[in-house]
Amino acid sequence: MIRISPAVKHLFVKEFTSYFKTPLGHVFLVIFLFGIGYLTFEPGRGSFFYIREASLGPFFRHIPWMFLFLIPAVSMKLWAEERKTGTVELLLTMPVSVAEAVIAKFLASWAFIGVALLGTFPMVVTVIYLGSPDLGVAFLGYVASFLMAGTLLAVGGFFSALTKNQVVSFILTVVAALFLLMAGSPPILEFVSTVFPKYFVDLLESLSVLGHFDSIERGVFALSNLWFFSVMIVFWLYGSIVLLNENKAD
């Protein structure tokens, strides 16, 4: 069994509870829950009432676009703030390694997004009340959203470790997240295929977070999807560790 270092546990608790002590956490929860509710039911094609189906499809379809702006707002402070105020010195002179600190902070932010997702339960209740949805698919939709959130948080953590400026970290994360979401979209692939060879286009397509998200959200949970999200998270977290070891002194 893997033994979790006590320092990771305590840092996780401190970070997780800090989301509920600062305005950031509350603002995030209100905007996320209100926004996703509005987008799901907003009048228009593809909205919940328009498709006349007791399905969570319209709800999950909007999740990536909410995350695109809201996740960078959560991740931007992960390291940028610590480095700007100098508390990183306090943290890393306690018996905790950079890797442990990166993991603890990442898990805390991920758990916070988990809470936000749990807060959308009235959606599920509504759908169950109105019809008999496939709950397995709904569950997978949540799994996909959670995994995507983890990936985007890991990306955001990396950019937060890159700069001391939270606004710069936010903007870089939005751009990177947009690229990862859109990597598999036809206009981009078409454009890229005019310049780059086919294997590069395939590689780009396989990097598409949205592609993997859609596949799980539709109810097809392939091991390759899980593998993709895990590799992405590990890759970006590892990047943060390397980066912090390099630039923590700046």
The residue with tokens 């009340």 is: 129
Cβ atoms of residues 145 and 117 within 8 Å: yes
Q: Cα separation of 6 and 219, whole Å?
A: 37
Q: Does residue number 206 form part of the binding site for another protein (CB under 8 A)?
A: no
Binding mask 20-59 for another protein (x = CB under 8 A): -xx-------------------------------------
43 vs 95, beta carbon nearer another protein: 95
40 vs 75, beta carbon nearer another protein: 75
Query: What 3-state class would DSSP assign to 104?
Result: helix
| Most distant CA atoms of the chain, gap in Å | 58
166 vs 225, beta carbon nearer another protein: 166
User: Which DSSP string corresponds to 152-198?
Assistant: HHHHHHHHHHH-S-HHHHHHHHHHHHHHHHHTT-HHHHHHHHHHS-H
Rounded to the nearest whole angstrom, what is the least distance from the CB of residue 246 to another protein in the complex?
11
Q: Does residue number 224 form part of the binding site for another protein (CB under 8 A)?
A: no
Q: Which of residues 78-137 bind another protein (CB under 8 A)?
A: 85-87, 89-90, 92-97
Q: Which residues bind another protein (CB under 8 A)?
A: 6-7, 10-11, 14, 18, 21-22, 85-87, 89-90, 92-97, 248-249
